[in-house]
């Protein structure tokens, strides 16, 4: 039996100016869920927004306080970032990825959203004719929204049917025209939680070099593939990365999930040293500067977006990175609760005739973590999203992420222990109501 009637859900849609629930954005679904919850007092199972639910790392908080007490707040931060953060980022990348990126090429951004926004600009302006972005989907919908703002065209494909060596021919097909300036993906993946394996990263790296495209590797969920223990600095196994296979890369590292520091909007882009020092005549002509990629990114692009990052937060991020390298912060164990939540939530779904959509990587079953994907029979993602709202469960359709698979994305971050029995009861009712359809 449905918890929220058709009329009430429609009222929520209209009052929140949502054109179509089946294609609703994360923010729109959030508004509808909040409306229904506030109007009725009935709690929702919130699987929509991927916002951390853990306390912010206290080492970062204390470091920010010390910086503020020291008077940092009265000065504009350097556009390139404070030296403490740049050095800590260099060391952190070495400790957990086993890749060398010089401190000068590690640049703070106000969240990875600002990092990708600036990188899209820089990558598509390097070389005339290379002006499109290739998305290896499913992916983060906001990045395509950024391209709409910038007027940049893109190509996309769902990786579901192109895992392993199959990826090579698909990438060749998408890149053969020579107009791809950048390749974008997240690893682990938002929304599917799939992880690209070494053979796939090698293929991406080789073709990025062949076609002179920059790989923008989004590592927002850094070390959160809990199937392997990636928590020990300077010890294998290291985080998989395309940086082992090409020098055309920008790594995006966020503090939001691994340190639960989302409210402070702090991240880094780490540009390969070769790309950082590369001279591009088209950039020199456009910006009337040196045309060297790294300095142009810092002074002529990123600074125009945010005019630097909050200085105190840079000190907080630097401290958390530094202590992680010293083994005094184990951010992997700190966030492992997401794995446990996802495991329980997925079991509730699969016990009630749902199935995991993106269920395998190349050689192993997809792990449990921050996100997961769920389907029900032959329902489209939009249909399933709307139906689940009636049962007090909010999510987003996979169709909004570039996926062509039927299903929805769920997030484990907002789940609470007292909600598991409620979720189980609701999904049992959902299955009973839909089992004959």
- Tell me the average pLDDT across 1-12: 91
**Model confidence over 288-303: pLDDT tens digits?**
999 999 999 999 999 9
Q: Residues near 431 by Cβ (< 8 Å), separated by ≥ 6?
A: 352, 353, 354
Please give the pLDDT value at position 47: 93
Q: Is the pLDDT of residue 335 over 70?
A: yes
**Model confidence over 72-127: pLDDT tens digits?**
999 999 999 999 999 999 999 999 999 999 999 999 999 999 999 999 999 999 99
- Tell me the average pLDDT across 313-334: 98
Contact by Cβ (8 Å): 372, 410: yes
Confidence of residue 182 (pLDDT cuts 50, 70, 90): very high
Counting the structural domains of the chain, the total is: 2
Confidence of residue 26 (pLDDT cuts 50, 70, 90): confident
How far apart are alpha carbons 220 and 209 in whole angstroms?
Answer: 24
Crossing angle, helix 311-325 and helix 58-69, to 10 degrees?
A: 140
Strand partners, 254: 267
Among candidate residues 303, 325, 347, the one where a domain is terminated: 325
Residue 420 falls inside a structural domain? yes
- Do 290 and 404 lie in one domain? The reply is no
How far apart are alpha carbons 291 and 286 in whole angstroms?
Answer: 8
Among candidate residues 297, 325, 353, the one where a domain is terminated: 325
Crossing angle, helix 420-434 and helix 381-390, to 10 degrees?
A: 120
**Model confidence over 31-54: pLDDT tens digits?**
999 999 999 999 999 998 888 989
CATH number of the domain encompassing residue 172: 3.40.640.10
Q: Tell me the average pLDDT of the chain.
A: 96
Please give the pLDDT value at position 152: 98
Residue 60 falls inside a structural domain? no
Torsion angle of the four alpha carbons 401, 239, 261, 317, in this order, in degrees rounded to the nearest 10: -140
Please give the pLDDT value at position 290: 95
- Do 215 and 188 lie in one domain? The reply is yes
What are the distances in angstroms from CA 188 to CA 47, 138, 217, 298, 347? Answer: 18, 11, 10, 27, 21
Q: Is the pLDDT of residue 233 over 70?
A: yes
Q: Is the pLDDT of residue 159 over 70?
A: yes
- Do 101 and 220 lie in one domain? The reply is yes
The better pLDDT of the pair 87, 363 is held by: 87
What percentage of residues in the chain have a pLDDT greater than 70?
Answer: 100
Please give the pLDDT value at position 437: 62
- Do 169 and 227 lie in one domain? The reply is yes
- Do 301 and 275 lie in one domain? The reply is yes
Burial label for 374, CB within 10 Å (0-12, 13-18, 19+), is buried
Q: Is the pLDDT of residue 24 over 90?
A: no
Range of the domain at 117: 75-325
Bin 353: left if φ > 0, else alpha if -120 < ψ < 50, else beta: left
- ∠150-151-152 over CA atoms, to 5°? 90
């Amino acid at each position: 039996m449905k918890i929220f009637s058709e009329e009430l859900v429609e009222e929520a849609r209209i009052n929140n100016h949502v054109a179509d629930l089946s294609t609703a954005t994360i923010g729109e679904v959030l508004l509808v869920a909040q409306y229904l919850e506030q109007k009725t007092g009935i709690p929702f199972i919130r699987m929509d927004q991927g916002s951390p639910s853990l306390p912010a790392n206290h080492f970062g908080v204390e470091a920010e306080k010390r910086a503020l007490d020291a008077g940092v707040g009265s000065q504009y931060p350097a556009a390139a970032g404070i030296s403490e953060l740049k050095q800590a980022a260099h060391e952190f990348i070495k400790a957990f990825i086993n890749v060398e990126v010089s401190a000068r090429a590690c640049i703070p951004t106000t969240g990875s959203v600002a990092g990708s926004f600036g990188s899209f600009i820089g990558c598509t302006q390097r070389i005339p004719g290379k002006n499109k972005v290739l998305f290896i989907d499913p992916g983060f919908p906001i990045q395509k929204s950024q391209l709409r703002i910038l007027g940049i065209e893109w190509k996309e494909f769902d990786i579901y049917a192109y895992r392993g060596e199959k990826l090579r021919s698909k990438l060749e097909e998408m890149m053969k025209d020579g107009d791809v300036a950048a390749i974008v993906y997240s690893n682990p993946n938002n929304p599917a939680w799939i992880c690209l394996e070494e053979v796939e990263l090698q293929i991406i790296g080789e073709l990025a070099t062949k076609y002179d495209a920059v790989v923008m590797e989004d590592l927002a969920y850094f070390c959160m593939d809990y199937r392997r223990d990636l928590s020990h600095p300077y010890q294998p196994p290291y985080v998989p990365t395309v940086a082992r296979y090409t020098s055309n890369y920008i790594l995006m590292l966020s503090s939001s999930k691994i340190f639960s520091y989302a409210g402070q909007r702090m991240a880094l882009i780490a540009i390969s040293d070769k790309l950082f020092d590369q001279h591009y005549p088209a950039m020199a002509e456009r910006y009337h500067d040196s045309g060297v990629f790294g300095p142009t990114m810092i002074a002529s692009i990123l600074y125009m977006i945010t005019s630097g990052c909050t200085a105190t937060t840079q000190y907080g991020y630097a401290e958390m990175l530094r202590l992680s390298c010293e083994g005094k912060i184990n951010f992997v164990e700190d966030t492992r609760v997401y794995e446990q939540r996802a495991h329980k939530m997925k079991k509730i779904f699969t016990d009630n005739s749902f199935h995991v959509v993106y269920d395998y990587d190349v050689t192993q079953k997809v792990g449990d973590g921050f996100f997961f994907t769920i389907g029900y029979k032959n329902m489209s993602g939009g249909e399933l999203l709307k139906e689940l709202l009636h049962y007090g469960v909010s999510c987003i359709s996979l169709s909004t992420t570039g996926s062509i698979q039927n299903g929805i994305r769920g997030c484990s971050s907002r789940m609470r222990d007292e909600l598991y029995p409620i979720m189980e009861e609701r999904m049992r009712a959902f299955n009973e109501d839909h089992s004959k359809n």
